[in-house]
């Protein structure tokens, strides 16, 4: 056999087409998967307390999150508990308040507000009923105040329920109270008939 002249022609080059595949090996690392940035709740070795999420400096508030004159944010008007909602009372507000109440309050206060939630039962914890004269006639800002700052053994829920939602809960609590203490004269004729009133 006669050896052909060693020339770098096209077909010879094709034999080395696999070489770029070696570049694939260079992609075997995870720094796109774990990029050098922090995720929420990640552990940090940079900060002394080990938290990547930085808690705000004590006694600071974010811009727009506090206004001492705003009833919406403080629950108070001129230092007194607000007796009216600082937001409009609508069916949507009550419905929204219902979802908040069922998620955050019902474990202890009970779905019906009688203080017999599943947690209260299992604790067992003494949880006051929402259906008492004092709470029926208290200014509605009181519920806002309690959710914001807690009361007795109840912790503050301010970091879980934003101010607008707290008012929704307060309004829903009033609906709950009304549902357990309604005047029969406010009901329609059919409803009264159903209850057996002449």
Footprint of other proteins on 20-39 (CB under 8 A): 32-35, 37, 39
151 binds other proteins (CB under 8 A): no
Buried b (16+ CB within 10 A) or exposed e, 87-98: eeeeeebeebbb
Nearest residue (CB) to other proteins, 9 versus 50: 50
Closer to other proteins by CB, 5 or 41: give it: 41
Nearer to other proteins, 20 or 196 (CB): 196
Q: How many angstroms separate the Cα of 110 from the Cα of each of 15, 29, 102, 156?
A: 76, 52, 8, 18
Question: CA angle, corner 88, sides to 84 and 90, nearest 5?
Answer: 115
Choice between 16 and 45, CB closer to other proteins: 45
By CB under 8 A, residue 104 contacts other proteins: yes
Span 48-87, contacts to other proteins by CB under 8 A: 49-51, 83-85
């Amino acid at each position: 056999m006669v050896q052909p002249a060693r020339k770098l022609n096209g077909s010879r080059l094709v034999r080395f087409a696999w070489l770029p595949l070696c570049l694939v090996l260079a992609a075997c690392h995870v720094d796109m998967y774990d990029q050098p940035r922090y995720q929420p709740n990640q552990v940090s070795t940079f900060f002394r307390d080990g938290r990547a999420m930085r808690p705000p400096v004590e006694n600071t508030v974010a811009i727009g999150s506090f206004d001492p004159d705003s009833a919406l944010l403080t629950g108070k008007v001129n230092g007194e508990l607000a007796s009216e909602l600082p937001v409009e009372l609508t069916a949507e507000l009550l419905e929204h308040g219902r979802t908040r109440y069922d998620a955050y309050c019902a474990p202890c206060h009970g779905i019906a507000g009688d203080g017999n939630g599943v947690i209260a039962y299992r604790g067992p914890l003494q949880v006051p009923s929402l259906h008492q004269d004092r709470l029926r006639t208290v200014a509605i800002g009181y519920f806002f105040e309690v959710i914001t700052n807690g009361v007795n053994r109840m912790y503050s829920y301010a970091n879980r329920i934003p101010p607008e939602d707290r008012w929704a809960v307060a309004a829903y609590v009033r609906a709950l109270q009304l549902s357990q203490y309604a005047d029969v004269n406010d009901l329609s004729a059919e409803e009264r008939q159903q209850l057996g009133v002449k």
